[in-house]
Amino acid sequence: MIRLENISKHNGHRILFLETSAALNRGEKVGLVGPNGAGKTTLFRMITGEELPDTGQVSVEKQVSIGYFNQDVGEMAGRSAVAEVMDGAGPVSDVARELASLEMAMADPDRADEMDAIIERYGEVQARFDELGGYELEGRAREVLAGLSFSQEMMDKDVGMLSGGWKMRVALARILLMQPDAMLLDEPSNHLDIESLIWLEGFLKGYEGALLMTSHDREFMNRIVTKIIEIDGGSLTSYSGDYAFYEQQRALNEKQQQAQFERQQAMLAKELKFIERFKARASHASQVQSRVKKLDKIERVEPPKRRQTVTFDFPPAPRSGDDVVVLKNVHKGYGSRTIYQGFDLTIRRKERWCVMGVNGAGKSTLLKLVAGADRPDAGTVAVGGSVKMGYFSQHAMELLDEEQTVFEALEGHFPQANQGSLRTLAGCFGFSGDDVEKKCRVLSGGEKARLVMAIMLYNPPNFLVLDEPTNHLDLDTKQMLITALAAYEGTMLFVSHDRHFLATLSNRVLELTPDGIHQYGGGYTEYVARTGQEAPGLHS
């Protein structure tokens, strides 16, 4: 259906692809993986024809429709979210536009003499609209938007008034409604809450076309894809199976290649030793010659390309008192909306609370109250003795000094630290080599999140309050963070839509629902087992 044949592509001095091939077949659901900057977005752009390979070719079967979602949603304004989504539905949206203009023409007294022709055309267009399922289209558009957590009010509001994250959802909904033969989704799981993520998972499982997607959410990827295409070192390698299978297979291949490489190196050393030892002896001349020829013909095994995996070890945090935070009879509202009414919660040392609840339930509000970034209307929030708190919020990224470089930002926070340890810290969070000289103003969302996280964790607090810490993080950095936090000795309170993060790190769950607030002993995995659902907004 879509074939990439012997493609090569350079980006400046960097080789992204080198004479490599891959295919996307009908009905396949494929995950595209590779380190940041490996060329995933370039691959999508080559398939859509926005970029061309330097050599080789990208071929798409005739009549195959392609829907491409990426993070750059462009300008949207002047129409409701529903109208914006319907506009992306391929041929039917053109027919809808013609239908609307014919309705206006029929109501225009100045065109009375053309009325017969207009009415005849209207009949033809209306029949075509009906044939293309146009009348069900608005219902389907609303269904998709509801799945992505839009309220009816938001669906009918001017899309220009929505935030960037909600505009992303509108752009995603356009592609989903279009139901093309092939969908290319570049990070569709970004900016989605857990309920929308689970809805999207179900939608994509039921989608019958071909799917090629990237995602930084391994659980989401695992449940949808049945094949992985990996970009690494200029080549494309296909693995049949989900993301977990790919990880195992990749590790196994690496191990086998290393063993093969070592065996060959040992054999070569032995042969070279023989040649070296006997090359001056006439009696062994023919043996030496034949061994030299043999070595020339041997195809050399390359050592496996090692992915640079970074690890971050927490220095031990000072011990806090047993009661880390106590909330008593807390009331909090915004305008006429009540968020908390008489709310009590005690967080004890070494507890790791994840907070679950739909958009607007008060998850971020709770974290702000605990961190002292907001105050309750009534009641008390008392932080215990010897508690040193680290608070990560999306707002923290806006507080970086735009004109400082990454390294200057780290130095500014830790003037006593030596340069070597700060460079190691920067490396752990994905800033290697010249990256530390980048100015904060040119950093992407993911890079800013990593820098804020590095500053917060270098001199570790004993109580971490984290609001969506994995937003923007790629799979490798996210895994590094999860591994580091799993070994962390302190206390945690966090909000996340990443189920792998929730399952690995929580040992308590706080569920905020319209029926009240529920506390569960045991982590997210136990919560799912007890409630039979992965998120509170999924009550049937």
High-pLDDT (> 70) share of the chain, %: 99
Q: For the chain, how many structural domains are there in total?
A: 4
Out of 297, 331, 364, pick the residue that ends a domain.
Answer: 297
List, as one string, the DSSP characters of 162-174: S-HHHHHHHHHHH
Residue 136 and residue 44 share a domain: no
* DSSP H helical ranges for 114-179: 115-131, 134-147, 152-156, 164-178
pLDDT tens-digit map of 354-391: 999 988 889 999 999 999 999 999 999 999 989 999 99
Asked if residue 344 and residue 451 are part of one domain, the reply reads: yes
pLDDT classification of 288: cutoffs 50, 70, 90? confident
Average pLDDT score, the chain: 90
Residues 51, 24, single domain; the answer is yes
Cα–Cα dist 484/505, whole Å: 10
Query: Do 97 and 137 sit in the same domain of this protein?
Result: yes
Q: Which one of 48-57, 100-109, 267-276, 421-430 scores highest in mean pLDDT? A: 48-57
CB 169 within 8 A of CB 150: yes
Last-in-domain residue among 109, 128, 163: 163
* Residue carrying the six token digits 């020339």: 296
The number of helix segments (H) and strand segments (E) in the chain equals 18, 18
> 199 lies in which domain range?
1-65+180-241
Q: How confident is the model at residue 196 (pLDDT cuts 50, 70, 90)?
A: very high
CATH number for position 52: 3.40.50.300
Whether the predicted pLDDT of 414 surpasses 80: yes
In a domain, 540, yes or no: no
Would you say residue 234 has pLDDT above 60?
yes
> At 99, is the pLDDT very low, low, confident or very high (cuts 50, 70, 90)?
confident
Q: Is 171 within the bounds of a domain?
A: no
Closest to 337 measured CA to CA, from 359, 315, 305 = 359
Domain match, 526 and 416 both: yes
Same domain, 356 and 487: yes
Reduced to 3 states (helix: H, G, I; strand: E, B; else coil), residue 346 is: strand
Q: 72 versus 307: which is more confidently predicted?
A: 72
Alpha-carbon 250 to chain mean position: 21
What distance in Å separates the CA atoms of residue 428 and residue 372, rounded to the nearest whole number? 29
Contact 375, 513 (CB under 8 A): no
Instruction: For tokens 């075509």, name the residue.
Output: 128
Question: Phi, psi at residue 418, to the nearest 5°?
Answer: -80, 155
Q: Which amino acid is at 519?
A: Q
Q: Between the CA atoms of 389, 390, 396 and 402, what dihedral angle is there, to the nearest 10 degrees? A: 110
The per-residue pLDDT for range 216-229, each reduced to its tens digit, is 999 999 999 999 99
Strand partners, 1: none
DSSP character at residue 523 = -
pLDDT at 539 over 60: no
List pLDDT tens digits, range 12-56.
888 899 999 999 999 999 999 987 778 899 999 999 999 999 999
pLDDT above 50 for 540: no
| 500 occurs within a structural domain | yes
Query: How confident is the model at residue 387, as a pLDDT?
Result: 95
Same-domain status, 444 and 493: yes
Q: Both 210 and 153 in a single domain? A: no
> At residue 309, does pLDDT exceed 90?
no
Buried b (16+ CB within 10 A) or exposed e, 420-448: eebbebbbbbbbeeebbebebeebeebbb
Measured distance CA(213)–CA(220) in Å, rounded: 11
Residue 505: the pLDDT is 97
With the C-alpha atoms ordered 420, 426, 428, 434, is the resulting torsion angle positive or negative? negative
Residue 4 reports pLDDT greater than 90: yes
Cβ-based neighbour number of residue 280 at 10 Å = 9
Give the residue-averaged pLDDT of 155-165.
Answer: 89
Question: Which residues are CB-contacts of 389 (< 8 A; sequence separation ≥ 6)?
Answer: 371, 383, 461, 463, 464, 465
| The last residue of a domain, from among 241, 270, 288 | 241
**Is residue 139 assigned to a domain?**
yes
d(CA 360, CA 337): 10
Q: Is residue 245's pLDDT more than 50?
A: yes
Instruction: Pick 388 or 282 by higher pLDDT.
Output: 388
Where residue 458 falls among pLDDT bands split at 50, 70, 90?
A: confident
Residues 404 and 513 reside in one and the same domain: yes
The CA angle 72-76-82, to the nearest 5 degrees, is 110
pLDDT-derived band at 276 (thresholds 50, 70, 90) equals confident
Distance CA 381, CA 493 (A): 14
Same domain, 355 and 428: yes
Residue 71 located in a structural domain: no
Q: Does the pLDDT value for residue 86 go beyond 80?
A: yes
Q: Which helix (H) or strand (E) holds 271?
A: helix 243-278
- Whether 258 is in a domain gets the answer yes
Amino acid making up residue 175: I
Q: Are residues 482 and 343 in the same domain?
A: yes
Tokens representing 86? Answer: 């319907």
Q: How far apart are CA 70 and CA 77, in angstroms?
A: 18
* Whether residue 147 sits in one domain with residue 47: no
Q: At 248, phi and psi to the nearest 5? A: -65, -45
State the pLDDT confidence band at 75, using cuts at 50, 70 and 90.
confident
Residue 318 lies in a domain: no
Q: Beta strand pairing status for 2-11 and 55-60?
A: antiparallel
DSSP sequence for 74-114: ----SSBHHHHHHHTSTHHHHHHHHHHHHHHHHT-GGGGGG
Confidence category of residue 90, pLDDT binned at 50, 70, 90: low
Contact 484, 457 (CB under 8 A): yes
**Pairing mode, if any, of strands 463-467 and 389-392?**
parallel
Q: Are 182 and 2 in contact (CB under 8 A)?
A: yes
The secondary structure of residue 298, as a DSSP letter, is P
Note whether residue 275 is domain-resident.
Answer: yes
pLDDT greater than 90 at residue 341: yes
Predicted model pTM = 0.81
Confidence grade of residue 306 (pLDDT, cut at 50, 70, 90): low
